[in-house]
């Protein structure tokens, strides 16, 4: 089981859940989009944008939270054929 709860702020190591690391492949994203409850990469990016824009709340504990776009590798989704 993989946990990236304490991945830190260091960009030295890419920190994304394996599901999303594999979703760099467009075909893999197409296969998992029903699990994510979205119809497209654009819709998924829009939902994640709601976390960064404050429309949805990111889980927090004390003063810590997670970087949702980083954990899902948002900028790399579907980039490979």
Domain range summary for the chain, segments of one domain joined by +:
18-76
Report the C-alpha gap between 72 and 75 in whole angstroms. Answer: 9
Q: In DSSP terms, which residues pair with 80 in a beta bridge?
A: 25
Contacts 24+ apart (CB under 8 A), 39-47: 41/77, 41/78, 44/77, 45/74, 45/77
Whether the per-residue pLDDT at 1 is higher than 60: the answer is: no
pLDDT tens digits, residue range 14-50? 567 888 989 999 999 999 999 999 999 999 999 999 9
Q: How far is CA 3 from CA 9, 17, 71, in A?
A: 15, 8, 10
């Amino acid at each position: 089981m993989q946990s990236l709860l304490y991945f830190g702020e260091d960009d030295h190591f890419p920190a994304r859940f394996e599901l999303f690391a594999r979703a760099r492949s467009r075909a893999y994203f197409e296969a998992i989009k029903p699990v994510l409850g979205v119809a497209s990469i654009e819709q998924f990016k829009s939902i994640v944008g709601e976390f960064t824009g404050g429309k949805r709340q990111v889980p927090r504990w004390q003063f810590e939270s997670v970087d949702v776009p980083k954990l899902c590798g948002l900028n790399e989704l579907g980039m490979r054929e």
